[in-house]
Amino acid sequence: MKRALITSATASQHSESPVWEGVIARYARYLPVSGATPIVTLKEGNTPLIRVPNFVHACGGKFELWLKYEALNPTCSFKDRGMTMAVSKALERGTKVVICASTGNTSASAAAYAARARIRCVVLLPHGKIALGKLAQALMYGATTIAIDGNFDEALRIVRELGETGKVEVVNSVNPARIEGQKTAAFEICDHLGRAPDFHFLPVGNAGNITAYWKGYTEYFSDGRIAALPRMFGFQAAGAAPIVEGRPIEKPETIASAIRIGNPASWHGATNAIEESKGLIDKVTDEEILNAYQLLARTEGLFVEPASAAALAGVIRCAKNHLIPENSVVAATMTGHGLKDPDSALKTSGTEPLIVAPKKEAVMKVMGIY
Binding site for ligand PLP (CB under 6 A): 77, 79, 105, 173, 203-209, 258-259, 305, 307-308, 335-336
Q: Which is nearer to ligand PLP, 38 or 126 (CB)?
A: 126
Shortest spacing between CB 334 and ligand PLP, in angstroms:
8
Rounded-to-integer distance, Cα 102 and Cα 50, Å: 28
Contact 201, 332 (CB under 8 A): yes
Cβ proximity to ligand PLP, 126 vs 203, nearer residue? 203
Question: CB of residue 266 vs ligand PLP: minimum separation in angstroms?
Answer: 7
In whole angstroms, how close is the CB of 268 to ligand PLP at the nearest point? 13
242-157-343-66 Cα dihedral, nearest 10 degrees: 50
Buried b (16+ CB within 10 A) or exposed e, 128-149: eebbebbbebbeebebebeeee
Helix (H, G, I), strand (E, B) or coil at 4: coil
Q: Residue by residue, what is the 3-state secondary structure of 225-271?
A: CCCCCCEEEEEEECCECHHHHCCCCCCCCCCCHHHCCCCCCCHHHHH
Collapsed DSSP state (helix, strand, coil) of residue 328: coil
Q: Report CA 317 to chain centroid distance, whole Å.
A: 21
State how far the alpha carbon of 315 is from the alpha carbons of 26, 58, 230, 236, 283, in Å: 30, 12, 15, 13, 12
CB of 206 to ligand PLP, least distance (A): 3
Residue nearest ligand PLP by beta-carbon distance? 336
Cβ nearer to ligand PLP, comparing 105 with 263: 105
Residues 6+ apart with CB under 8 A from 244: 236, 281, 282, 283
> In the complex, what is the shortest distance from the CB of residue 369 to ligand PLP, in angstroms, rounded to a whole number?
40
CB nearer ligand PLP, residue 12 or residue 105: 105
Report the residue number, 154 or 365, with the smaller CB distance to ligand PLP.
154
Q: What is the three-class DSSP state of 146?
A: strand
In the complex, minimum distance from the CB of residue 171 to ligand PLP, in angstroms, rounded to a whole number = 13
Q: Residue 18, Cβ neighbours under 10 Å: how many? A: 5
Which residue number, 6 or 253, has a Cβ lying nearer to ligand PLP? Answer: 253
The distance of closest approach from Cβ of residue 261 to ligand PLP in the complex, given in angstroms and rounded to an integer, is: 7
C-beta closer to ligand PLP: residue 163 or 203: 203
Nearest approach, Cβ of residue 232 and ligand PLP (Å): 12
User: Chain centroid to CA 285: how far?
Assistant: 19
- Is residue 7 classed as helix, strand or coil in its secondary structure? strand
Smallest gap, in angstroms, from Cβ of residue 216 to ligand PLP?
A: 13
The total number of residues written for the chain in this structure: 370
The DSSP string of 170-229 is E-STTSHHHHHHHTHHHHHHHHHHTS--SEEEEE-SSSHHHHHHHHHHHHHHHTTS-SS-
Nearer to ligand PLP, 204 or 324 (CB): 204
**CA nearest 341: which of 225, 219, 259, 234?**
259
Beta carbon nearer to ligand PLP, 71 or 90: 71
